[in-house]
């Protein structure tokens, strides 16, 4: 991998927008639940919520690694767990807050929470990211 596209195509497809990334290891994102991502029941398919969390946590891992060791890294999701707590209707404005809970030079553990406009918790995710130096 020689170059990175920022923002990545996956974030553009989801319609993700970064609201906050000033604190290393913590980012906040928004996206609107697009009707194109609905399941047969007419609700947001869980994989899209998972992708939202993964992108947000990955960004938090990058800001953590950059700030903690002043190095550029690739981050790769080694494992991820997502809990879906409420159904999500298309059109809902989603906010994801992602934070690095603990980390070192090679790994970091992140958590994310997704809420709606009323502040209701819709999903929680956690993941371990592998940090690999680049360039």
Q: CA torsion sign, 61 to 63 to 67 to 73?
A: positive
Run of H or E including 54: helix 46-69
Grade residue 3 by pLDDT with cuts at 50, 70 and 90: low
| Largest CA-CA distance found in the chain, in angstroms, rounded | 46
Within 8 A by CB and 6+ apart from 55, the residues are 8, 10, 11, 14, 16, 29
| pTM for this predicted structure | 0.94
Q: Per the domain annotation, does 97 fall within a domain?
A: yes
* Parent domain of 40: 9-133
Q: Per the domain annotation, does 98 fall within a domain?
A: yes
- Give the model confidence (pLDDT) of 52-107 as tens digits: 999 999 999 999 998 877 778 999 999 999 999 999 999 999 999 999 999 999 99
Q: Per the domain annotation, does 3 fall within a domain?
A: no
State residue 67's pLDDT score: 87
Domain count, the chain: 1
Report the CATH number at residue 73. Answer: 3.10.129.10
Q: Per the domain annotation, does 1 fall within a domain?
A: no
Q: Per the domain annotation, does 124 fall within a domain?
A: yes
State residue 1's pLDDT score: 47
- CB atoms inside a 10 Å sphere around CB 75: 21
Cα-to-chain-centroid distance, residue 74: 15
Q: Per the domain annotation, does 2 fall within a domain?
A: no
Grade residue 2 by pLDDT with cuts at 50, 70 and 90: low
């Amino acid at each position: 991998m020689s170059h990175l596209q920022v923002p990545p195509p996956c974030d553009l497809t989801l319609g993700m927008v970064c609201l906050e990334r000033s604190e290393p290891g913590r980012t906040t994102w928004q996206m609107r639940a697009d009707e194109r991502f609905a399941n047969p029941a007419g609700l947001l398919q869980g994989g899209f919520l998972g992708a939202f969390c993964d992108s947000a946590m990955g960004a938090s891992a990058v800001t953590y690694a950059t700030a903690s060791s002043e190095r550029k890294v690739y981050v790769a999701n080694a494992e991820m767990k997502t809990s879906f707590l409420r159904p999500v209707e298309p059109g809902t404005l989603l906010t994801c807050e992602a934070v690095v809970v603990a980390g070192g030079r090679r790994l970091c553990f992140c958590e994310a929470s997704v809420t709606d406009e009323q502040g209701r918790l819709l999903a929680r995710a956690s993941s371990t990211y592998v940090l690999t130096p680049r360039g």
